[in-house]
Amino acid sequence: MKLVVIGAGAAGVAAAWRAAPSADVTLVHDTAGATSLYSGAADLLEWDDPRPAPPLDAPVAELAGKLWRLGDPVCRVATGAGVLRPARGIDPAVLDLAPLAGRHVAVADVGRDAWDAALVARALADSAWALSTNTRFSVVEVAALRRTHERFIPAWDFAQLHDDPDRRAWLCERIGRAHSDAEGWLFGPWLGVEPGSAAALHEALGRPVGETTSPPGGAAGTRFERARAALLAEAGVAVVEACARAVAPDGNGWRVELGPARSGSGADETLQADAVLLAVGGVAAGGVVLDEPRAGHRGGASFHLSLRAPVRFELAGEELDGVSSLHGVDFEARGLGALARVGVLARGGQVSGQPGLFVAGDALAGAPRTVLEAVRTGISATDAALGAGA
């Protein structure tokens, strides 16, 4: 069976990885998606959802364990604004505060302009979790800047400096000079963009050390991309960096039309497949695009995919293409949250009315917009595709 997966976020990677032992898999992707811009926290339900998260299915847990550190049962992570929240899994460079409950955690004040260590430490110390577990947070000065411009360069650029073993050794020496009795160290999202850089620092210090979550476009997203490349190479998945322009039925299979990547590399070509899985992301990632009302456009505001494909859209159980309204989607009535919930109409991962075409992740209607849910739907849709092609 030939399967083409479009999109290389959590859903697309999960789909390609799941299918690789049983199918000839090609993964097509172009620009960064939502997972490449994520914080480093991996949730199944939205993190502030009061419901207990169900256990991870075995295949989901297996893949998640290759990309993230899973909590037992959850991790506790800090944001750069001092919000302490649970997470089912985390980028390995993010500090898990759960094992440090009841202990002393140092928040490193390195003198960067965009980092308020005192605010972060105070907010974390006042959190319900810290108060209930008697966990202490204190600000500790660490002279971690070598040059003046390091005070204000972007977080990603500062993080990249710590991929250099000599720079990490220098940072360890500076932490030692701080003479703190802290049992764990919390830094901003600066401890390397390569997987393993933060772990090397942790090993050298002999104490837990890690980051807050990353802002969009931060180090955590790059570490996901590097880990993704290694995982797909190990699984034997062919990766094509190109822009998918269209997906259309072709005889008993499907045709995927590609154009050059937005980087300008590559050329137009066509891929033939027995099945296609769309993991192009939702509105936030640009996989689902909002059509604003315009003259001559039937139905007013509506949605389309970032590529041509025979799909219909669903919102809150209602097929949008079936709405008989001159105004299309009524955001005043539905709220702007509709932009997060809208997705492709599908059942069991198969696009409605299109055998051989499947969808997963944020492009799928009705699923929580979380990393581990994207993994789950990627695996589920792949299983459906493999079953249909058997």
Domains of the chain: 2-36+237-389 (3.50.50.60), 41-215 (no CATH)
Task: Note whether 313 and 343 are within 8 A (CB).
Answer: yes
141 beta partners: 109
Q: Say if residue 40's pLDDT is above 70.
A: yes
* Residue among 153, 144, 150, 116 at smallest CA distance from 107: 116
Minimum mean pLDDT among 138-147, 155-164, 190-199, 336-345: which range? 336-345
Task: Note whether 319 and 313 are within 8 A (CB).
Answer: yes
Pairing verdict, β 243-250 and 238-241: unpaired
Pairing verdict, β 24-29 and 238-241: parallel
Q: What confidence tens digit (pLDDT) does each residue in 60-95 have?
A: 999 999 999 999 899 999 999 999 999 999 999 999
Question: In this structure, what are the phi and psi dihedrals at residue 84, rounded to the nearest 5 degrees?
Answer: -105, 125
Pairing verdict, β 350-351 and 346-347: antiparallel
- Mean pLDDT for the stretch of residues 330-352: 82
What is the model's pLDDT at position 129? Answer: 97
Q: Say if residue 308's pLDDT is above 90.
A: yes
- Mean pLDDT for the stretch of residues 105-115: 96
pLDDT band at 290 (very low <50, low <70, confident <90, very high): confident
- Mean pLDDT for the stretch of residues 113-141: 97
Q: What pTM does this model have? A: 0.92
Q: What confidence tens digit (pLDDT) does each residue in 206-232 have?
A: 999 999 999 998 999 999 999 999 999
